A and B are shown apart, each in its own frame.
Chain A
Amino acid sequence: MTTIERPRYQVIGTRPIRPDGVEKVTGRALYGADVRLPGTIYGRVLRSPHAHARILRIDTSAAERMPGVLAVVTHRDLPAVADGIQNLGETAVNVRELAANLLADDKVLYHGHAVAAVAAVSPHLAEEALGAITVEYEVLPPVLDVREAMREDAPLLDESRRTKNIAGQVVGERPSNIAMHHRFEAGDVEAAFAKASVVIEREFRTKMVHQGYIEPQNATAVWNQDGTVTIWTSTQGAFAVRGQVAELLRLPVSKVRVVPMEIGGGFGGKIPVYLEPLAALLSRKAGGRPVKMTMSRTEVFQATGPTSGTWIRVKAGADAEGRLLAVEAELCYEAGAFPGSSVNAGAMCMLAPYDVENFRIDTYDVVVNKPKTAAYRAPGAPAAAFAMESVVDELCRALKMDPLAFRLKNSSREGTRQVSGVPFPRIGHEECVRAAMESDHYRSPIEGPNRGRGVASGFWFNGGMQSTVLVAVNPDGTVNLIEGNTDIGGTRASLAMQLAEALGIPYEDVKPFVADTDSIGHNDVTGGSRTTFATGLAVYEAAMDIRRQMVARAARILNLPEEDLEYVDGGVQSKSDPSKRIGFKEIARQQARTGGPITGKASLVARGVGPAFSTQIVDVEVDPETGKVTILRYTVVQDAGRAIHPSYVEGQMQGGVAQGIGWALHEEYCYDEQGHLLNANFLDYRIPTALDLPPIETVIVEVPNPAHPFGVRGVGEVSIVPPLAAIANAIYDAIGVRFTDLPISPRRIVEALYGGKEG
């Protein structure tokens, strides 16, 4: 459905085959696992068996003496790096903490924290060598839960840590696990609550969950004899890897070349480095042999990702007419072993669907003895939306108001101030809610015992940042599109389509290529739903560069003044006499004679990001005897701005929902009291299988982003935001039990229905 009339496009909005499709389905595409260099040796990581311990001594001598073991590294092998925030485009990291996460310094802070790494001539030997390393630990009591960690008497991960404000200045007097406290506030919350006729206040808990990409982290590195380092890896951002490795190893960025391989999923989890610097250090110690490292699934769960476990309190009040008057909230997010959760993003997302004048949101970033969290699809937003959208559902029930009507009535729109104080540009939440109300799904009744329906809305900012593209016109009239964003979700296709549209040439004539860090200018990560938007802008500008050159070349071939020529529909023609025309292919063919190769380029910081909203509807059936929840029907409505390739937009919408369903019903990190992660495998960490998901119906709403020539907004993340609440709301509707803790697993449902306590 379209809310604003769409210009007539040739390519945009069609559904061509992706350029990387054949290679991928025939198994020819090269992933990190396919990197095989002569003389490769294999690296493995020794990990902490404890959640919290002081390292008293590491003895690697026995491992070093083993025949076939070529290198062993510990934290001592990392150059000393001072505290300092490095901006990786999408993520700002503290380099000292990044180093301490890479290889534990004086303390291990979570089960699975890397302590040493070994390289040997075979992976088995490397693993055996790990067993020959002696580490003496002084085991300390761990703190695993965000609320526990906030207590004054909690074990401290870092005795020197004081609570800071968002600008990084110390505000707390005592040592604390609370790394950051911030507040978003406007209006008069107390006065507004006093006017409310309904006020709901609830506490919510969510567990750490993992991105669950199928391909584990991997890296192959060579420390070349000339002092340069080459790294082949699976990453969302080759330049982000380059930046981190350079900082950690104290090398100029120019000495590090990162070759991004195809990527088997990232969802935010493949932005930080884990293996790349280790492989490089091991290679240096092993005399420059290539070192290949691949994580096991257990290591992926123990030491990469996840996103925060949270505790959230929300109090919201509405008047009798259903106007949302005030919201007060406290968000406490587990950052993992080092600071840096997405709690502020959560706070800035939770009220985004609403126009509410009075609010106070306190945010706390809290360290716990669990892995350092990484970005995960709309980082911070799903948990906050779970809390807010559940409370809104309760408000609607108390007011006897249709939950979509409530959302429409209170919807944010252009000019509405976000909690940060920044007014929204043109956004499409109202359009999403309306489309949901008009959907076949919402108009169909839900009937039968133990069945229920839930809805929820969600928001994500989307990102802009830096992009560079190069375009080279081939003599046969095709074009090479060279870009620096790894293709996770079909960006080769979405960028090639924008180039084809802008040049007026067939999509098949564009050949996209993802370059390494030595071959193109800087590109920020494929993340934050930015690539189709921001790199798309660069593609558009590079196309305009090509068009200008095409006009100049045509002037020479047609022997007409440039001022009389214009670029129209894949060719150049005379303004005064349109019959004088030359096509793109012909100009391309003659480029050698008209001035040489035609290449275009664009580099930019993308401005005018178009935020995204999604509204979702879900029907569930609960088996009250076993607690099993079956998703009967699911509809995701999302504002894409403009769907360049609708199939891939739908794929993103469905993918986020699938992850959200897993988060709502099954996924959680399970720890014992000592802080051991108990389910570091895909058997007991349950992501949904194909059999657990219904067909997910999609409704693409198009409220074009005025700042993008084709109206693009990012589409990759927002769909994961509403499912947690939508499903909880549906389960309430089905069986009358309000779940405020995730996941709403069969176990939790059975315990809620039949006693709660273990008997």
Chain B
Amino acid sequence: MRAFDYAAPRSLDETFPLLADGRRVRFLAGGTDIIVQLREGRAECDLLVDLKRIPELRRIEIRPDGTLAIGAAVPCAEVYEHPEVRRRWPALVDAASLIGGIQIQSRASLGGNICNASPAADSVPALIVLGARLVLASARGERELPIEGFFRGPGQTVLQPGELLVRIEVPPLPPCSGARFLRFIPRNEMDIAVANAAAFLRLDDDGRIAQARVALGAVAPTPLLVAEAGELLAGQQPNDELFARAGELAAAAARPITDVRGSVLQRRHLARVLTVRALRGALARAQEGS
């Protein structure tokens, strides 16, 4: 590990000047990715900026319009322990409560999970199907984009120098809808997803699927929104056969690699299996809600 400077600004206004002098900057939210990477020499920086002292990055807020706004440095445990989050966005709880164990969850943030940009990040498929938007800020101001547009490749995002993620905004779930996130790991804990998947379904009055979104992780260089699956499902009566076809589309959309955590065949196969299971889970939640 190389020596680096450390700063812990107390506001975004204090933060931006730190990012402007050309030093290689990394952020520290929960530190559960970055500290490991720095120690192992997989990441290097001149300045580590601790975000935990910036109040607006540590807030969870539900706006009057029902939008959930999660500060980028809020730890997972605060997300899944939030009673309204538990009630209204259970798919987010699926994901936040799977990231690491209790120690990790007490520090690890969704912002860090997203910005670390691992293809296997567990919060991302859930946030994709929930229609989450990211709010990025720099000295020049804020901009906003759908989460699926944030990733450029493993460890690579659209963040510009001097820019950081400040908030994740999740719209309210419409009536008669539900979402589910699932992952596959070889053990029952402490593993990185070999593949993961999330599904969202909104039903119309007849119980038909009005809208669907399917997202996958760990099967491509970035998390994937499988638009084809959503298109196939929309307007259809939900059933096993339909879900199986959606699973096929998900498998076809996957562009996995073989590495120590899984093979191409296994990941493509799991994309199908997890998509079907996530769809079933989303349907059950949508039907509960209606």
**Taking beta carbons and an 8 Å cutoff, which residues of A are in contact with B?**
124, 127-128, 298, 625-628, 665-666, 670, 678-679, 682-684, 686, 688-689, 691-692, 745-747, 750-751, 754-759
CA distance A679 to B260 in the complex (A): 7
Stretch at the interface among B72-80, B85-93, B221-229, B264-272: B264-272
The answer to whether A751 and B260 touch (CB under 8 A), given A124-B1, A686-B191, is: no
List 29 contacting pairs A-B, 8 Å CB cutoff, sorted by A: A124-B1, A124-B3, A127-B1, A298-B40, A626-B184, A626-B270, A626-B273, A628-B184, A666-B186, A678-B259, A678-B260, A679-B260, A682-B190, A684-B260, A686-B191, A688-B187, A689-B190, A691-B188, A692-B188, A746-B194, A746-B266, A747-B194, A750-B265, A750-B270, A751-B266, A754-B265, A757-B265, A759-B264, A759-B265
Report chain A residues within 8 Å CB of B261. Answer: 684
**B239 interfacial contact with A, CB 8 Å:** no
Whether the pair A689, B260 counts as a contact (CB closer than 8 A) is no
**B258 interfacial contact with A, CB 8 Å:** yes
CB distance from B139 to the nearest CB of A (A): 33
**B288 interfacial contact with A, CB 8 Å:** no
- Which listed residue (B2, B192, B258) contacts A683, Cβ 8 A? B192
CB distance from B40 to the nearest CB of A (A): 8
Report chain B residues within 8 Å CB of A759. Answer: 264-265, 268
CA distance A754 to B269 in the complex (A): 8
Interface centre among A128, A746, A754, A759 (most CB of B within 10 A): A746
**B189 interfacial contact with A, CB 8 Å:** yes
Report chain A residues within 8 Å CB of B1. Answer: 124, 127
Report chain B residues within 8 Å CB of A688. Answer: 187
Report chain B residues within 8 Å CB of A683. Answer: 190-192
CB nearest neighbor in A for B190: A689
B contact face: mostly helix, strand, loop, or mixed: loop
Whether the pair A751, B190 counts as a contact (CB closer than 8 A) is no
CB distance from B105 to the nearest CB of A (A): 15
Report chain A residues within 8 Å CB of B184. Answer: 626, 628, 746
In chain B, residues 159-198, which have Cβ atoms closer than 8 Å to a Cβ of chain A?
Answer: 184, 186-192, 194
Whether the pair B186, A628 counts as a contact (CB closer than 8 A) is yes
**B11 interfacial contact with A, CB 8 Å:** no
CB distance from A376 to the nearest CB of B (A): 21
CA distance A665 to B262 in the complex (A): 14
Report chain A residues within 8 Å CB of B37. Answer: none
In chain B, residues 94-114, which have Cβ atoms closer than 8 Å to a Cβ of chain A?
Answer: none
Whether the pair A689, B188 counts as a contact (CB closer than 8 A) is yes
CA distance A686 to B188 in the complex (A): 11
Whether the pair B265, A686 counts as a contact (CB closer than 8 A) is no
- Which listed residue (A684, A686, A689, A747) contacts B266, Cβ 8 A? A747
Whether the pair A745, B186 counts as a contact (CB closer than 8 A) is yes
Report chain B residues within 8 Å CB of A689. Answer: 187-190
- Which listed residue (B187, B262, B266, B269) contacts A692, Cβ 8 A? B187
Report chain A residues within 8 Å CB of B190. Answer: 682-683, 689
**B263 interfacial contact with A, CB 8 Å:** yes
**Taking beta carbons and an 8 Å cutoff, which residues of B are in contact with A?**
1-3, 40, 184, 186-192, 194, 258-266, 268-270, 273
CA distance A759 to B266 in the complex (A): 9
Interface centre among B187, B191, B262, B273 (most CB of A within 10 A): B187
CB distance from B191 to the nearest CB of A (A): 7
CB nearest neighbor in A for B274: A626
CA distance A406 to B268 in the complex (A): 42
Interface centre among A625, A686, A747, A759 (most CB of B within 10 A): A747
Whether the pair B187, A758 counts as a contact (CB closer than 8 A) is no
Known: A686-B187, A751-B266, A756-B265. 18 other contacts (CB 8 A): A626-B184, A627-B266, A628-B186, A665-B186, A670-B260, A678-B260, A683-B191, A684-B261, A689-B188, A691-B188, A692-B187, A745-B186, A747-B186, A747-B263, A750-B265, A754-B265, A758-B263, A758-B265
CB distance from A120 to the nearest CB of B (A): 14
CB distance from A636 to the nearest CB of B (A): 21
Whether the pair A666, B266 counts as a contact (CB closer than 8 A) is no
Whether the pair A747, B262 counts as a contact (CB closer than 8 A) is yes
Report chain A residues within 8 Å CB of B266. Answer: 627, 746-747, 750-751
Report chain B residues within 8 Å CB of A686. Answer: 186-187, 191
CA distance A754 to B194 in the complex (A): 17
Whether the pair B260, A758 counts as a contact (CB closer than 8 A) is no
Whether the pair B186, A691 counts as a contact (CB closer than 8 A) is no
Report chain A residues within 8 Å CB of B2. Answer: 128
9 interchain residue pairs of minimum CB distance:
A691-B188, A758-B264, A625-B273, A747-B266, A670-B260, A678-B260, A758-B265, A750-B266, A679-B260
The answer to whether A751 and B188 touch (CB under 8 A), given A626-B270, A626-B273, A758-B258, is: no
CA distance A679 to B273 in the complex (A): 26
CB distance from B156 to the nearest CB of A (A): 22
CB distance from B187 to the nearest CB of A (A): 5
CA distance A298 to B39 in the complex (A): 12
CB nearest neighbor in B for A746: B186
CB nearest neighbor in B for A670: B260
CA distance A627 to B2 in the complex (A): 42
CB distance from A685 to the nearest CB of B (A): 9
Interface centre among A625, A628, A670, A679 (most CB of B within 10 A): A625
CA distance A59 to B183 in the complex (A): 49
CB nearest neighbor in B for A689: B189
Report chain A residues within 8 Å CB of B188. Answer: 689, 691-692
Whether the pair A751, B273 counts as a contact (CB closer than 8 A) is no
CA distance A756 to B266 in the complex (A): 9
Interface centre among B2, B40, B266 (most CB of A within 10 A): B266
Report chain B residues within 8 Å CB of A124. Answer: 1, 3
CA distance A626 to B269 in the complex (A): 8
Whether the pair B265, A691 counts as a contact (CB closer than 8 A) is no
Report chain B residues within 8 Å CB of A745. Answer: 186
CA distance A578 to B190 in the complex (A): 65
Report chain B residues within 8 Å CB of A750. Answer: 265-266, 269-270
CB distance from B218 to the nearest CB of A (A): 13
Whether the pair B187, A691 counts as a contact (CB closer than 8 A) is yes
